[in-house]
């Protein structure tokens, strides 16, 4: 489809910078070039030129690139202006553009137009925001695979398989005398089983894709004075939490964003769990319990001179902590060597935060989270997973009714599965879903 309005937006982050980028898309791009850009622009050729205001005065020296439809990001005529990254200059250019020929773009509107003009499907559109927002290198690599079409290719393959089987079954319904029913039903069953198997594999990959796309957060939890704040400060590389030998020093939950080898991870330094000495400490403990619920993994710290005791076990049980790593701290006092092992699906670390022993083993495990393999087909969203499961349910029903020779119902179940699969790619999508998808985008993308 073609839109009638021309949109413009500053695509770079606000603030002083070497370069600022403005994007324009729509049917008034040629008029904007004629009025504001000095000289002519050839398609897809970066041109060093100047941009003028409405009075013909030069605003700035710029690099301008014209993308002629349909060979552009949006499928429409597009203009990209690279000026100096001074907000005053960028705003002056925007005031000119949005006066007569264009309006300010909505969040994600450039990508939405790319989708509406069939430049990308909805999975690829969602992958673009995943690339922008990815918090680790694995999530970024996985999102790029989705943008390149690996996930879409798998979905399209399932869609084609269902469509082919639908055509075969509907032909069988219309011309029942062409084949022996038992042979016919057996062929349908084999085809349905192949589709089910393929779809089940995609669902497994989608679950992994969702996990990769989520930022990992760790809550550092334990009794008072086990070294939680000291570990937090060591990982942060500076003192972000108060450290004291007095129990109950940490009264609040302190959040840190830490970059580990291209992986941005959230850490919460929490108040020690015990019977509170006063109301303020009680509030801190309540915050700890809330933090545990919203964290991906709990780093449960223990003073190795005391060991993991009944009180620790009770804390684990009382707070429903089921996904945790055990950090045995202060091994410098127990003369143990730094080590890492996994027992009963729980990662165990022997460390000394004070002497910085064994902490590298913990960091290695953190950075290895959400690793991806060559078989990974990209990031995924809960929307994808929900629709895939719905389609699978209809395929199960198709298999059931095929065994009972109910070909009319089989055809209907396949039709429903086909439409659901198509919805993942953006077929028959409604405005409410589009608004939800593109509202997560920044303006200018």
Residue 242 has pLDDT above 90, yes or no: no
Q: What is the pTM of this model?
A: 0.74
Average pLDDT over residues 389-394: 96
The DSSP secondary structure of 290-354, one letter per residue, reads HHHHH-SEEEEEEETTT-S-HHHHHHHHHTT--SEEEEEE-TTTTTPPPEEEEETTEEEEE-BTT
Above pLDDT 70, what percent of the chain?
Answer: 89
Residue 148 has pLDDT above 80, yes or no: yes
Domain ranges of the chain: 7-121, 124-212+377-425, 217-367
Residue 377 has pLDDT above 80, yes or no: no
Average pLDDT over residues 216-231: 87
Arch. (CATH architecture) of 124-212+377-425 = Up-down Bundle (1.20)
The answer to which of 31-35, 61-65, 134-138, 142-146 has the lowest mean pLDDT is 134-138
Average pLDDT over residues 45-62: 96
Max avg pLDDT among 63-77, 235-249, 298-312: 63-77
Instruction: Give kind and range of the element (H or E) at residue 240.
Output: none
Q: Hey, is 278 helix, strand or coil?
A: coil
Average pLDDT over residues 348-362: 94
Average pLDDT over residues 354-374: 81
Residue 252 has pLDDT above 70, yes or no: no
Pick the CATH number of 7-121 from 1.10.10.10, 3.40.50.12780, 3.30.1360.120, 3.30.1360.40: 3.30.1360.120
d(CA 358, CA 327): 10
Residue 246 has pLDDT above 70, yes or no: no
Higher pLDDT, 178 or 136: 136
pLDDT at 245 (0 to 100) = 44
**Is 1.10.645.10 the CATH number for 217-367?**
no
Return the sign of the alpha-carbon dihedral for residues 253, 259, 261, 264: positive
């Amino acid at each position: 489809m073609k839109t009638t309005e021309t949109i413009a937006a500053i695509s770079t982050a606000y603030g002083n910078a070497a370069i600022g980028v403005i994007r324009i898309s729509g049917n008034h791009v040629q008029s904007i070039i004629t009025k504001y850009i000095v000289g002519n622009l050839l398609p897809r050729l970066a041109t060093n030129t100047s941009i003028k205001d409405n009075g013909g005065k030069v605003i700035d020296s710029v690099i301008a690139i014209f993308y002629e439809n349909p060979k552009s990001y949006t499928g429409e005529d597009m203009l990209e202006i690279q000026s100096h990254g001074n907000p005053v200059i960028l705003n002056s250019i925007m005031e000119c553009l949005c006066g007569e020929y264009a309006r300010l773009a909505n969040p994600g509107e450039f990508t939405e137009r790319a989708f509406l003009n069939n430049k990308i499907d909805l999975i690829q559109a969602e992958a673009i925001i995943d690339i922008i927002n990815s918090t680790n290198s694995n999530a970024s690599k996985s999102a790029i695979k989705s943008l390149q079409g690996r996930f879409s290719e798998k979905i399209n393959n399932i869609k084609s398989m269902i469509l082919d089987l639908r055509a075969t079954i509907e032909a069988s319904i219309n011309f029942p005398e062409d084949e022996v029913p038992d042979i016919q039903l057996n062929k349908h069953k084999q085809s349905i089983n192949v589709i089910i198997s393929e779809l089940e594999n995609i669902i497994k990959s989608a679950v992994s894709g969702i996990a990769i796309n989520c930022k990992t957060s760790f809550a550092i939890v334990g009794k008072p004075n086990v070294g939680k704040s000291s570990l937090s400060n060591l990982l942060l590389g500076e003192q972000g939490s108060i450290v004291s030998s007095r129990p109950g020093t940490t009264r609040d939950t302190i959040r840190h964003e830490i970059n580990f080898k291209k992986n941005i991870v959230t850490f919460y330094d929490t108040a020690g769990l015990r019977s509170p000495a006063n109301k303020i400490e009680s509030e801190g403990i309540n915050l700890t319990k809330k933090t545990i619920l919203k964290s991906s993994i709990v780093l449960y710290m223990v003073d190795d001179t005391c060991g993991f005791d009944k009180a620790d076990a009770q804390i684990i049980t009382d707070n429903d902590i089921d996904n945790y790593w055990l950090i045995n701290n202060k091994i410098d006092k127990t003369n143990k060597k730094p080590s890492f092992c996994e027992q009963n699906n729980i990662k165990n670390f022997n460390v000394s935060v004070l002497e910085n022993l064994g902490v590298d083993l913990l960091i290695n495990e953190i950075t290895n989270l959400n690793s991806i393999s060559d078989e990974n087909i990209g990031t995924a969203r809960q929307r994808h997973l929900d629709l895939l499961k719905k389609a699978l349910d209809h395929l199960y029903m198709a298999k059931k009714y095929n065994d009972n020779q109910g070909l009319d119902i089989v055809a209907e179940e396949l039709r429903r599965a086909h439409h659901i699969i198509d919805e993942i790619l953006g077929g028959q999508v409604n405005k409410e879903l589009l608004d939800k998808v593109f509202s997560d985008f920044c303006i200018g993308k």
